[in-house]
Structure 1
Amino acid sequence: MNAAAASEATALIIGDVQNGIVKSFGDDDGHVARVASAIEAAHLAGIQVIYVRVGFRAGYPDVSPRNRGFSAAAANNMLLADSDETQIDARIAPLEGDIVMTKRRISCFSGTDLDVVLRSRGITHLVLAGISTSGVILSTVREAADRDYALTVLSDGAKDNDEELHRVLVEKLFPRQADVITVADWVSAVEA
């Protein structure tokens, strides 16, 4: 994390680390444990933790048939906002003071009041982790950069089913708009 980013008001954003998505992607690589260590470090450092999960209303009035990914979820009766599959993984359960939002699209900003919450708290630097790198992380990086936030992506705090796509994003695309570091390096910087 660069010195300028370290001095800014920071929030750790955890995107889509929810039961159904963790189950779909698997966790044999220890991804959730790494995210948990980032959350623990954020709590100890007084950094705001914000969880953003994807979920839809009963009957899917918020899903367009033109949206390929989400219309498939609707057709299979998946990702209803009150279902167990949309709840945050219990291993990283929110604590008092953490913020939980439900989004209706891929980016953490789409269908939420995330920008209002961040600006109200004077937060200018976002640290991103979640599932998937090519989904919530990519969409949030692009939108957050357009909104002039300083960004850090936790390279191993993000996960994707396509390892090559993950590599290209964290090594080539994200560094154009964000600092990209490992969870361990971020935790060390926060603890320093």
Structure 2
Amino acid sequence: MPNNYHKSALLVMDVQNGIVSRIAEDEKSLLPFQKAVEAARIHTIPIIFVRVAFSEGYPEINPHNKAFSALSQAQGMTISDIGTQIHESLHPEPSEPVVTKFRVSAFAGSNLEVILRSRQIDTLILSGISTSGVVLSTLREAADKDYALQVLSDACLDPDPEVHRILTEKVFPRQADVLTVDNWIHSLD
């Protein structure tokens, strides 16, 4: 794995209040995310936070979308809602963009690709909640867009530990280097 991190970006995806409160067992679950963000800042690797949120009235949600149509009925997850804000333990700095997406993949309906192209990013380091949601969808789309990929396995959480294991051990390695946050940090030094 080459140390060409000057064209890399760390994506911290869906680590927002409404999702963290449902998936993370406790505050310790977020330590790998915090460690990755701190390392990226030390090594001046751009960090892009990604969240899922919808406009008031939910015009982006189609009733046929099983994953999101229930949200419009529950009246949550709007752009200004506390549930869509990045978790306070990972507070973005002013220079770190917060991208809003409208579907599962970080690319879907967002300005992520414009930001990546403007910064000439060719390698994405993925972290997020959940492994079977945003991480899987973003990895697949990013691979199709020819990005080099790394997945920080312990900075990904999923409600189903077995699904997380299968994805990180069997599926993701086909398209990405999968490593722990500590191993990633070591590769930067």
Output the TM-score relative to the length of structure 2: 0.97
Which residue number corresponds to residue 52 of structure 1? 50
Who is 1:26 aligned against? 24
Q: Which amino acid aligns with 1:7?
A: N
Per-residue deviation at 1:78?
1.8
TM-score (norm 1): 0.95
Per the alignment, residue 7 of structure 1 pairs with 4
Shift of 1:32: 1.2
User: Could you say which residue in structure 1 is the equivalent of 2:103?
Assistant: 105
Runs of 4+ in 1 over 6 A off after TM superposition: none
1:77 aligns with 2:75: yes
Question: What is the alpha-carbon distance in structure 2 between the residues aligned to residue 26 and residue 127 of structure 1?
Answer: 20
Query: What stretches of structure 2 of length at least 5 have no aligned partner?
Result: none
RMSD of the TM alignment (CA)?
Answer: 1.0
Question: What amino acid is the match of 2:76?
Answer: M
What are the Cα deviations for residues 152-178 of structure 1, in whole angstroms up to 9, with x where unaligned?
A: 000010000011111000001000000
| d(CA) in 2 for partners of 1:101, 1:143 | 16
CA distance in 2, matches of 1:167, 1:47: 27
**Partner amino acid, structure 2, of 1:120:** S
Return the offset for 1:75: 1.1
Give yes or no for the alignment of 1:132 onto 2:130: yes
Q: Deviations over 1:114-146 (max 9, x none)?
A: 111101111000000010000000000000000
> How far is the alpha carbon of 1:29 from its aligned partner?
7.1
Q: Which amino acid aligns with 1:59?
A: G
Alignment partner for residue 157 of structure 2, among 159, 176, 181?
A: 159
Q: Deviations over 1:28-53 (max 9, x none)?
A: 27221110110000001010000000
- Residue 37 of structure 2: SS of its match in structure 1? helix
Alpha-carbon contact 2:8-2:45 (below 8 Å) kept = yes
SS in 2 for 1:157: strand
Q: How far off is 1:73 after superposition? A: 1.1
- Counterpart code for 1:172: K
Q: Give the Cα separation in 1 of the matches to 2:43 and 2:67.
A: 37
Is the Cα contact below 8 Å between 2:47 and 2:97 reproduced in 1?
Answer: yes
The answer to whether the Cα contact below 8 Å between 2:16 and 2:86 also exists between their aligned partners in 1 is yes
**C-alpha separation in 2, matches of 1:27 and 1:89:** 14
In the alignment, the residues of structure 2 paired with residue 57 and residue 80 of structure 1 have an alpha-carbon distance, to the nearest angstrom, of: 6
Correspondent of 1:17 among 15, 18, 30: 15
Report the secondary structure of 1:30's partner residue.
helix
Query: What is the CA-CA distance between 1:74 and the residue it aligns to?
Result: 1.1
Aligned residues: 188
